Amino acid sequence: PVPGRTKPTGSEGAERCSGRISSALTATVPMSGQAVPPTAIAPLPPMREGILIPSEVAYAVEAAHLDTLGGHYSGTLRVAAKLLSLDYLWNTVRVKGGAYGTGFIARPNGMVAMYSYRDPHPDRSLAAYTHAAEYLESFCAGEDDLTPYIIGAVADTDPLLSPHMRGLSAAMMHLTGKTQEDRCRLRREILSVTREELTGLCALLRRMAEVSAVCVVGGKNGLDSCGGTLTARRSLRGEG
């Protein structure tokens, strides 16, 4: 401390620190509506990786970005994700494969992924992901009711929010440039989805099976069962 000056309290120090951070952010991010300059950091290429951990079960993920698949985020995609999660993946990966959980994620940022967790047979799960398009195509050729999946997609995209979560949601909409009209468009797409529109996603799912990144986190037996599907392997302990 400087003689003759009072040492700042914790709250005063925090205010100074937050002020410096705010100044740095203001200098970096334009506040006048100008576009933020693009980053020079390129994304990592897709990998098919196994990560060794001391576990008898595994976690198997296949993921991609819609830009690389030639698709876009839509209400139709959300309904397809709900359908595949509740029907195909649940019965194939959870019931028959023995995994504790599984699902298909489709997010507004463009990420799509199929996953399993606490999975005793990650090899079977990865194989199941590659046949998702076939299941969707077969389902749409039948006459099963789409209503449960539409309701589920609406519930996922418009959950009950606490005041805190409403604030976070509003902040994310502002930061990502999303508007209320975007939300309304997504709701209209979900409510009006057709079998023909769902069938149109089969090409995207087939492309996803071809170019997705794959990651399996599990024990040695689980990784070994995946064979040549995994082209790289590393251990969290730094071992080969």
Instruction: Give tens-digit pLDDT for 95-115.
Output: 999 999 999 999 999 999 999
pLDDT in tens, 161-201: 999 999 999 999 888 888 999 999 999 999 999 999 999 99
Q: Within 10 Å of residue 157's Cβ, how many Cβ atoms?
A: 15
pLDDT value for 12: 66
More confident: 193 or 43: 193
Q: Is pLDDT of 80 > 80?
A: yes
The token pair that represents 64 in the structure block:
């991609």
The CA-based angle 133-49-82, given to 5 degrees, is 30
The confidence band for 15, taking pLDDT boundaries of 50, 70 and 90, is confident
Instruction: Calculate mean pLDDT across residues 58-86.
Output: 96
pTM value? 0.80
